[in-house]
């Protein structure tokens, strides 16, 4: 008797879905809290969604880059797994008369760990501590965001924050535009009182005001040039922006050439970059 009741209930619900779908097409997913299906216009990668529609010819799903990743017969209920590039995805339903209906939904992703325990707390600690120096600088009327205003620190912090934010390349843009004529890359951009650095570098030129901001090269550092190149590569790995990468190649080559041609950086005796005998390169 219970089996008959359950079957009857299922058939009623299923019939209701069919009637609903015949009237209009819907995109639904299961609510993880209630376990019930609900209409949606948002999803995450690998979510399972269902298209409720009239039985027709086919259903296609196109990702944020315009690539079709689902082609399936149009059933009353058609399930699919969200895939492809982030952004606006479009479901196209073609009925038996070749009339099409489209449903749009937005796909986005946030890096996270959710175990309701130790690893989630540890993840939150790492995420928050990586952002202690995140900020921006306004130079020549444009604003440039950074993870840390020092090249070396920006590079290492970006190893984690590139999974959350897509503005790591702005610091590269800033340093490329301020790059010295001989290819030298500055250690950091002005973000503190500059009297010490202006006094220290009055004769060497390692602190210079370029337009409306000071840029500083720590005299003992040998890494800003190759770190600059590594940031470019890391940004490209994160975004896949070939045009932006190509725009930086000349500056990257000039930076590396500086490293092997400036006597302050290159040892002709050993054929290696000079490294000062101190771990404290940021103060001297």
Residue 139: what pLDDT?
Answer: 97
With 80 as the cut, is the pLDDT of residue 284 above it? no
Residue 47: what pLDDT?
Answer: 93
With 90 as the cut, is the pLDDT of residue 275 above it? no
Residue 13: what pLDDT?
Answer: 42
Same domain, 72 and 31: yes
Residue 71 lies in a domain: yes
The Cα diameter of the chain in Å comes to 96
Residue 114: what pLDDT?
Answer: 84
- Asked if residues 151 and 231 have their Cβ atoms less than 8 Å apart, the reply is yes
Q: How confident is the model at residue 16 (pLDDT cuts 50, 70, 90)?
A: very low
Same domain, 182 and 254: yes
Residue 87 lies in a domain: yes
pLDDT tens-digit series, residues 31-65? 766 778 889 999 999 999 999 988 889 999 999 99
Same domain, 99 and 190: no
Using the 3D structure, point to which of 82, 107, 132 is the last residue of a domain.
107
> DSSP secondary structure string, 217-248?
--TT---HHHHHHHHHHHHHHHH--HHHHHHH
Q: How confident is the model at residue 15 (pLDDT cuts 50, 70, 90)?
A: very low
Same domain, 122 and 70: no
Same domain, 86 and 185: no
Using the 3D structure, point to which of 77, 107, 137 is the last residue of a domain.
107
Same domain, 195 and 258: yes
Same domain, 129 and 261: yes
Q: How confident is the model at residue 21 (pLDDT cuts 50, 70, 90)?
A: very low
Q: Into how many domains does the chain fold?
A: 2
Residue 178: what pLDDT?
Answer: 98
Q: Cβ contacts of residue 84 below 8 Å, gap of 6+?
A: 63, 64, 65, 67, 69, 107
Residue 281 lies in a domain: no
Residue 1: what pLDDT?
Answer: 46
Residue 90: what pLDDT?
Answer: 97
Same domain, 165 and 133: yes
Same domain, 196 and 67: no
With 60 as the cut, is the pLDDT of residue 4 above it? no
Q: Which domain holds residue 175?
A: 118-273
Using the 3D structure, point to which of 107, 138, 169 is the last residue of a domain.
107
How much is the average pLDDT of 76-88?
A: 95
pLDDT tens-digit series, residues 144-196? 999 999 999 999 999 999 999 999 999 999 999 999 999 999 999 999 999 99
Q: Cβ contacts of residue 156 below 8 Å, gap of 6+?
A: none
- Which of 207, 200, 203 lies closest to 178, judged by CA? 207
Between 16 and 40, the higher pLDDT residue: 40
Q: What's phi and psi for 259, nearest 5 deg?
A: -60, -30
pLDDT tens-digit series, residues 121-134? 999 999 999 998 99
Same domain, 163 and 92: no
Neighbours of 263 (CB within 10 A): 8
Same domain, 149 and 240: yes
Which CATH number fits the domain that encloses residue 55? 2.60.40
Residue 33: what pLDDT?
Answer: 65
């Amino acid at each position: 008797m219970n089996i008959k009741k359950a079957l009857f209930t299922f058939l009623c619900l299923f019939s209701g879905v069919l009637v609903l779908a015949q009237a209009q097409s819907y995109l639904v997913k299961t609510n993880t809290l209630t376990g019930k299906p609900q209409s949606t216009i948002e999803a995450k990668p690998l979510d399972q969604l269902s298209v409720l529609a009239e039985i027709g010819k086919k259903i296609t799903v196109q990702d944020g880059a315009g690539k079709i990743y689902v082609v399936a017969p149009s059933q009353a209920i058609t399930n699919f797994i969200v895939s492809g590039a982030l952004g606006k995805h479009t479901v196209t339903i073609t009925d038996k008369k070749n009339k099409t209906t489209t449903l749009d939904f937005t796909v986005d992703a946030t890096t996270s760990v959710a175990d309701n325990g130790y690893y989630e707390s540890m993840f939150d600690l790492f995420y928050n501590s990586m952002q202690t120096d995140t900020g921006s600088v306004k130079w020549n009327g444009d604003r440039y965001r950074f993870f840390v205003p020092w090249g070396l620190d920006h590079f290492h912090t970006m190893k984690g924050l590139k999974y959350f934010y897509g503005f790591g390349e702005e610091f590269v843009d800033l340093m490329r535009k301020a790059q010295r004529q001989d290819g030298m890359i500055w250690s950091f951009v002005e973000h503190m009182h500059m009297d010490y650095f202006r006094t220290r570098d009055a004769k060497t030129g390692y602190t210079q005001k370029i337009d409306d901001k000071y840029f500083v090269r720590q005299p003992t550092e040998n890494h800003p040039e190759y770190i600059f190149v590594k940031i470019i590569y890391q940004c490209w790995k994160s975004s896949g922006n070939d045009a932006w990468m190509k725009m930086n190649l000349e500056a990257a080559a000039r930076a590396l050439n500086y490293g092997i041609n400036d006597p302050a950086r290159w040892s002709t005796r050993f054929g290696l970059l000079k490294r000062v005998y101190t771990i404290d390169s940021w103060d001297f």
